[in-house]
Structure formats: structure tokens, C-alpha cells
Amino acid sequence: MSDEPTEARRDGEGDAAAEQADTEARFRYVHSGGFPEMLESMGITLLVTTYQAGKLVVFRSRAGKMSMLLRTFDKAMGLAADTQRLSIATGWQVWSLANSPQVASKLKPPGSHDACYIPRTSHVTGAVDVHEIVYAGDELWVVNTLFSCLATLAPPFSFVPRWRPSFVSELARQDRCHLNGLAVAEGRPAYVTVFGQTNDAEGWRPNKVDGGCIIEIASGRIVAEGLSMPHSPRVHDGRLWVLDSGRGRLAVVDGVPGAATGAVRTVVDLPGYTRGLAFLGRYAFVGLSKIRETAIFGGVPIADAPDDRQCGVFVVDVEAARVVGFLRFEGSVEEIFDVQIVPGVRFPSVVGFSKDTIKRACVIGPERPIA
């Protein structure tokens, strides 16, 4: 089994080569000096989703050289990942993949891969506009934006509602507040981001410029407001962080989680619509997207900025409050939805659906004789 493209030997090899060349052109990227070495020294893999292109993008580095792996998932959005598992929210499913060290050891060249994530289950949610997904202990929590609630997944249901903002009176397919982000603290869902405190169908739209807020789940209180289309709340290093997306900012809420003052302080301004955030120590990996003047983004501050918005992942030293590295797409990719890092995994593979590997990669559990 190989993780790299192989030479086509069948009819249609010209079409395959053309498709490969087109994909490479679309996902062409550049990076700052030392970016591959940064991933290697941190011992991490960088994961990115883009729903417009329908891809999971895996960035890995070996011997100072970047490697990009693309896997197709329809409308790929929220990501959750660790050394043992990987979950991806798509247009109407949530896919769960499991790491198989046995399969990783067989990939070519020998000894090159330290993980291999293989699709194992798909939960059909229907088209409910799942945004972020987060592991909290053994449970996978999903942000169900269309129904304005947090949910978990369990057969035979599409989803199991677990929490909704107090101002949302009922479950309805109406995207009332654009609930989109979820932060976990001490293994439990702790904070969410919404675009507006509204109970009307798509009621957040008129006040998207500054109607966004962060809500503490346990108490239901608003801990920060006045945000512009906020995303990706995170609790890290004893502080509550958020992306003030409509202003292109990485920000922190003053005070410690549980006693936040409500004052939001900008850490750094970035050249794009910020969405997707992951931390490792003092470093924040922030997703940036270009935006166009549409009914969704028109009027937000970042839309009025000079036309130099970028799409990629910027690395911010939050202690120094400055950008220390970047990876930027220069092809046709203009949008990033989520960003995750996997500490302890340096060079993984992700098994796709179009190659024979998924048919041959059979991982057998221990025998269980009939009692």
C-alpha cells in the first residue's frame, strides 16, 4: 500500500493525469520559511477542511519538506481529531475514522507513516448544517446550526438534542441564532458562539456586524458580546479565546473561564475572515478565508478592508502577539472551515474511498468465542 499517487497503467490514464494536475493547481500553496521545520519540531500534523472544495487537507512534514494529502468529503466542515480517532462533519453525515498502527506499518515506503486513519462509521444526520464537532470524553458533540442546538449522535436518531440557548424557544429547522462554535473545558461542553441572540428564523442576519456573543453553557449567561460573526471559541491555558471573524481577529476574553469580565481584547489582526482555531502551547493556528460581497458577508468590517484578504493557516505566538509563520493557498481555494492539529502524529495517512486500500485494509479484532 502506498500513500502517494501511482503511475496510471489502464485506459483513461490521460484523464487521471489531467485531473491530478487540475487538483494540484487548485490547491497550490506557499509557506513561510521554516514552516515545515515548525511542524516537525512540534511533532504535529495540521488538518484543514474546506467545504467549497469538499476536501480534508492533511499537511505533514518530513526532513524539512512539506507534504499535502487530499481526501474528498462532501462539504467538509467541522473536525475533531486525536492520536486514535478522526471525525469529519459533512453535508449530511458525520464520518468517524480510527487509527490503525497495523495498516500504517504496511504503507510504503516502510517506516514512513506513524498513523493511518481508516473510515469506520458514518452517522446520517441529514442536512442540518453541522458546524463544529468536538470530543468531550468519550462523546462526540456536534453543533447543529440549523436547529440551534448542541447534540450528540445515537442510532436510530438523526441527532439527540442536548442543549440550546435560553432565548431559543423550540427546536426548529430555522437557524435562529447561527449557533456555530463549541469550546470544551475539563472534558465538558463549556462555551458556544452565536451570531445573534434571536428567536426568529435567521434572525441573526440584520445584526451580524456586531450582534455576536459567547454563551456559558452551564449558566446560560452571556460572557462576551459585540462580536462580529464569531467562531471557534477555545479554552486554552486558563483563558477563553475566540475568533472575531467579521473583523479578522484572534481575541481573548479578559478574566479566567467561569469569571470572565466580558471585555474582549484583540491579540492580533489577520488578513482574512478568521475561522478554525487550534492551540499548542503558546502558538495558535488560525484559519483564514477570503470573502466575497454576498448577502452573508456584505457589511461586515472585514468586507470593507483592502482587497488583500488571504486564505490559509497563520501561526500566531500569542505571548508575543505576532504572526510567526503561515501557509497560504494561491490556487482557487478561497475558504477554510476548520483547523485542527494532532500532537504526537507526525506523518499520518488517511484512507480515501477511491483507491483499493479501503477494500484491502482489514483490521481484525480479537476473537470472541461463543459463550
What is the radius of gyration, based on Cα positions, of the chain?
21
The residues, any chain, with a CB within 8 Å of residue 41's CB and separated by 6 or more, are none
304/109 Cα distance (integer angstroms) = 49
272/294 Cα distance (integer angstroms) = 16
Helix (H) or strand (E) holding 106: none
Q: What percent of the chain has pLDDT over 70?
A: 92
**Using one digit for the tens of pLDDT, what is the confidence trace for 150-179?**
999 999 999 999 999 999 999 999 999 999
pLDDT at 7 over 50: no
The DSSP secondary structure of 329-351, one letter per residue, reads: E-SS-----EEEEEET-SSEEE-
Q: Which domains does the chain have, with CATH numbers?
A: 32-359 (2.120.10.30)
303/294 Cα distance (integer angstroms) = 10
12/287 Cα distance (integer angstroms) = 37
286/75 Cα distance (integer angstroms) = 20
Q: Which amino acid is at 321?
A: A
Q: How many CB atoms lie within 10 A of CB 371?
A: 3
Q: By three-state DSSP, how is residue 360 classified?
A: helix
pLDDT at 306 over 80: no
Which pLDDT score is estimated for 369? 94
Which residue in this structure is represented by grid cell 488583500?
A: 308
Q: Which amino acid is at 142?
A: V
**Using one digit for the tens of pLDDT, what is the confidence trace for 118-137?**
999 999 999 999 999 999 99
pLDDT at 143 over 80: yes
CB-based contact 152:140 (threshold 8 Å): yes
Which residue in this structure is represented by grid cell 502558538?
A: 283
193/213 Cα distance (integer angstroms) = 6
289/272 Cα distance (integer angstroms) = 5
Q: Could you tell me whether strands 115-124 and 348-350 are parallel, antiparallel, or unpaired per DSSP bridges?
A: parallel
Strand partners, 36: none
pLDDT at 6 over 50: no
Strands (E), 32-74: 44-50, 55-62, 65-72
Which pLDDT score is estimated for 18? 73
CB-based contact 180:245 (threshold 8 Å): no
User: Using CA atoms in the order 213, 263, 340, 365, what is the torsion angle rounded to 10 degrees?
Assistant: -70
Which residue in this structure is represented by grid cell 504572526?
A: 323
Is omega for the bond preceding 156 within 30 degrees of 0, making it cis? yes
pLDDT at 261 over 70: no
Which pLDDT score is estimated for 1? 38
Local structure of residue 108 (DSSP, 8 states): B
pTM equals 0.92
Helix (H) or strand (E) holding 20: helix 13-26
Q: By three-state DSSP, how is residue 205 classified?
A: helix
Greatest pairwise CA separation for the chain in angstroms? 70
CB-based contact 125:135 (threshold 8 Å): no
**Using one digit for the tens of pLDDT, what is the confidence trace for 106-119?**
999 999 999 999 99
